[in-house]
Amino acid sequence: MTQPLMPKATAVWLIDNTALTFDQIADFCSLHILEVKGIADGDVDHGIRGADPIAAGQLTRLEIEDCQKDSKSRLKAIQKRDDLPDVARRVGKKYTPLSKRQDRPDSIFWLVRNHPELLDSQIGKLVGTTKSTIQSIRDRTHWNSANLTPLDPVSVGLCSQVDLDKAVQKAFKRIEKRKAEDQDSNISKGITEPGDFKLEQNKESSLENNNEEKEIIAEAHTEEDPNKEYTSDNVFAKLNELKESE
């Protein structure tokens, strides 16, 4: 059986306001029967103020009346219900007490500096501010930006450490997901590593250079005498002349 929160104070109230036996009171309050008798006589814990178990939600009036009729019955405390539905959280802007609003810009500055992975919407939800205020602090265009000092929002009670940790974990998951998506897109294009992209660029540039050399050689063939014999030395000499003229 669940023991009352204040057993002796509850015993005082039951002695003064009910006709229950000392045995019943001692059983409910988890006290010795002699201790209950001493409380009733004023010899034990004199001056204790009684605590109403009915108002505290520990007993019902009907339970007390039933036990008063039968001295052999025992009081049964009200069992706390664990299956109560959860109260829906209020959706909307977070309320910040007036005494803590002056610390909000410094807390935003701390979050922007120490947790750049957080989105403006996440910071606004943590400390209860607007995106425009956060952006002005990021850009150092806030009216009091010269006097801002980083201040941990948890230390001043603007948010809890649990909420901050959840926001940071969510931000890192978002970043990891984006990296995975970018990697998948690169693989689909045939680029598995960052160096592969540079390799592809080098291949393209080399192909362009080869095409230019072929065009230069073709021009050299058309400009020269068709009856002239061409050797490798003549061709490369002409190619060097054209490059020097450029």
- Contact call for residues 128 and 104 (beta carbons, < 8 A): yes
Token pair recorded at residue 201: 């660029």
Q: Which residue has the higher pLDDT, 225 or 31?
A: 31
Query: pLDDT tier at 197 (50, 70, 90 boundaries)?
Result: very low
| Contact yes or no for 15/36 (Cβ under 8 A) | yes
112-151 pLDDT, tens digit each: 999 999 999 999 999 988 999 999 999 999 999 899 999 9
154 vs 243, which has greater pLDDT? Answer: 154
User: Looking at the predicted structure, is the pLDDT value of residue 88 above 80?
Assistant: no
Could you say which DSSP state residue 102 is in? T
How high is the pLDDT of residue 4?
Answer: 79
Region of residue 136 (phi > 0: left; psi between -120 and 50: alpha; otherwise: beta): alpha
Token representation of residue 218: 């073709």
Query: How does residue 239 score in pLDDT terms, banded at 50, 70 and 90?
Result: low
Separation between Cα atoms, residue 120 and residue 130, nearest integer Å: 8
- Name residue 140's amino acid: R
What separation in angstroms does the CA of 169 have from each of 51, 97, 146, 165? 46, 27, 31, 6
Residue with tokens 């490798």: 232
**Maximum Cα–Cα distance across the chain:** 140
pLDDT of residue 83: 53
Residue 186 is predicted with a pLDDT of 74
Would the pLDDT of 231 be above 50?
yes
Asked if pLDDT for residue 12 goes beyond 60, the answer is: yes
Evaluate if residue 201 carries a pLDDT over 60. no
Please tell me the distance from the alpha carbon of residue 113 to that of residue 227, in angstroms, as a whole number. 76
15-27 in b/e form (b: 16+ CB < 10 A) is beebebebebbbb
Select from 94, 109, 190 the least CA-distant residue to 142. Answer: 109
pLDDT at 97: 75
What confidence category does residue 3 fall into, taking pLDDT thresholds of 50, 70 and 90?
Answer: confident
Predicted pLDDT of residue 243: 58
Cα 111 to Cα 117: distance, rounded to the nearest angstrom: 9
Per-residue pLDDT at 219: 54
pLDDT at 155: 87
CA atoms within 13 A on the CB side of 108: 31
Average pLDDT value for residue range 33-59: 85
Mean pLDDT (the chain) is 79
> Rounded to 5 degrees, what angle do the CA atoms 29, 33, 36 make?
65
Check: CB of residue 29 under 8 Å from CB of residue 10. yes
CB 168 within 8 A of CB 117: yes
Using a pLDDT cut of 70, give the percent of the chain over it: 69
DSSP string, 39-92: HHHT-SSTTPPP--TTTTTS--HHHHHHHHH-TTS---PPPPPS-PPPPPPPPS
Hunting for tokens 């039933």 — which residue is that? Answer: 66
